[in-house]
Structure 1
């Protein structure tokens, strides 16, 4: 409802007393005690709770199986990142993933539960090319401007180990994604420097950000963090690089943990993660 003037009446910000909220061009301009009776054109909030829209900082709306039958993990007896990738790739065509209808359904479900902004990682690989990005764009046309979406071209099946993926990421950057992604350069591509050099080169050349999935533990996980921080400073991309997951940070001795956290702050690298069961508590 941008570029409009209207009043949201009888709502309770953070559970407080009912108020009326005046909105102009998408911004709150006035909050005052609720009027006895709404005026013509007002939107009646019915005394409901009013909160800022939730932000889902890490989603995969292009490949959600929302509304599809349950599909079990069948790759091996012990789930791994590689296994999840392989299992998904083996099943997705059967369920027509990605497609715009399921993507729009997920975005509407976000909205139904109060999420009004998300950053979504869109699979880019040799099988589907940029079709996932096209599906997300089509879904956004269906949903409209009710939800803000930042897009990441995500090479889930690897970057260097799949010749042609770097070209697809570059094409995605030119097609308007906000970020390009990467995944476990040490264990997936087995070339930390090679993967990161290639991704940072595209980011600098095309003027996009970076959002990197890092799941590796131990000294390798620490090394990847340090490499990302150094390259961010060298490339002058402070404020435009994010590390997703990064579970190793919860496993480190306190002094090393503090060093990495301070380094992230200095480099302007953000961190989005989750309290996943089975991993060490995060700082």
Structure 2
């Protein structure tokens, strides 16, 4: 590729970053990897990147690829479905019908994500008595069909509870299949207690060498106690450090400052990450405190026009923009840093402005975007002009 725009450093006024420096380069790709990055050769016989900015590809780290109305006629959320248990009952009605077309709809949803520059997702997939293992099998088929331009890691997710609908045996079967994480769901609200639910999740992950990623919507004391219980379990089993996550973790939104700092420090020490949709309603998630204590924060769209939520655009860069607005990230430096929510914590420049991505030898995974720099891309939710995955031109 020629005429590829890459970030090269920061310009300063005193100690404030006021501008991101860029230049044009030629990028050679071979066997799915970046072979060489050299000064631009505008007359070279190469694909013309037209001065678009190269950024790391986007990663949607909390999504349900197996459950979507995308590809079907429009349907908004139904008022009757208020609680998680309401939704479980509704899923038991509709899943048999949805399963008939789930592979094709998942492929359409993956194509939507790709159009916004996403080449990787962590997808939760229903493991429940209604779906059996069919949601997982259908999802795996869709991912296989799209593997040239898209990759995923999968969470075996007991959406209908582990004990509420007797899903233990199915979860054990799923753990033997090609999945990466063991999931969980609101232990107190759905299964009536923390210990039995969480002990099952932790032991299943340990037995099969998997990570953990649990859904935790519970916002009160039970939510905090569940997080604390998981922290203790991870500290008892260091093999789980760096591969354990709490999705949503809404309970962290309603703590006083001291308790927030305490929980963030404990999560950071245990190397437990948080996957968030960056919720708009209510008190914001304490992202600044989590970052301060070194907690890995991931972002995801969660639902894309499904029975859980009418919303969800598929654009993960939009989540970085949303975070910037919520937390007041308006400067060149802050906007450039929050891009990490969209890229899975990969940034072109480090905090001092040293170039750290891309490098020769890296996988040829990137987007070309119509922006002058990362900060502008986040601020304007700039349009993605091309997605490259392992050297393959997706579009």
- Where do 1:1-283 residues align within 5 Å? 8-13=1-6, 16-39=22-45, 42-74=46-78, 76=80, 79-96=82-99, 99-163=102-166, 165-236=167-238, 237-283=240-286
Query: In 1, Cα distance between the equivalents of 2:90 and 2:221?
Result: 28
**8 Å CA contact retained: 2:143, 2:151:** no
SS of 2:281's equivalent in the other structure is coil
- Structure 1 range deviating more: 122-131 or 18-27: 18-27
Query: 1:97: Cα distance to partner?
Result: 5.8
Contact 2:3 2:42 survives alignment (8 Å): no
Deviation at 1:36, TM superposition (A): 2.3
Instruction: Say if 2:99 and 2:134, in contact at 8 Å, map to a contact too.
Output: no
Distance 1:54 1:84 in 2: 30
- After superposing the two structures, state which structure 1 stretch, 205-214 or 268-277, moved more: 268-277
Q: Which moved more, 1:168-177 or 1:271-280?
A: 271-280
Paired with 2:169 and 2:79, the residues of 1 have a C-alpha distance of 29
Aligned-residue CA RMSD (Å): 1.9
Determine if contact 1:73/1:84 at 8 Å carries over to the other structure. Answer: no
> Cα offset for 1:75?
5.8
Distance 1:80 1:162 in 2: 16
Q: CA deviation at 1:167?
A: 1.4
3-state DSSP of counterpart to 1:44: coil
Q: TM-score, normalised by structure 2?
A: 0.65
CA distance in 2, matches of 1:122, 1:202: 16
The whole-number CA distance in structure 2 between the counterparts of 1:98 and 1:123 is 15
Q: Report deviation, 1:171.
A: 1.1
Q: CA deviation at 1:160?
A: 1.3
Q: Tell me, in whole angstroms, the C-alpha distance in 1 between the residues paired with 2:245 and 2:100.
A: 26
Give distance in 1, aligned partners of 2:247 and 2:199. 18
My pick for the range that moved more, 98-107 or 30-39, is 30-39
- Secondary structure of residue in 2 paired with 1:250: helix
How far, CA to CA, are the matches of 1:71 and 1:97 in structure 2?
Answer: 18
Q: Unaligned regions of 5+ residues in structure 1, if any?
A: 1-7
Report the equivalent of 1:3.
none
Tell me the secondary structure at the aligned position of residue 17 of structure 1: strand
In the TM superposition, residue 153 of structure 1 has moved relative to its aligned partner by: 0.7
- SS class of match (1:160): coil
SS in structure 1 at match of 2:245: strand
Q: Which has the higher contact order (CA 8 A, sep 6+)?
A: 2
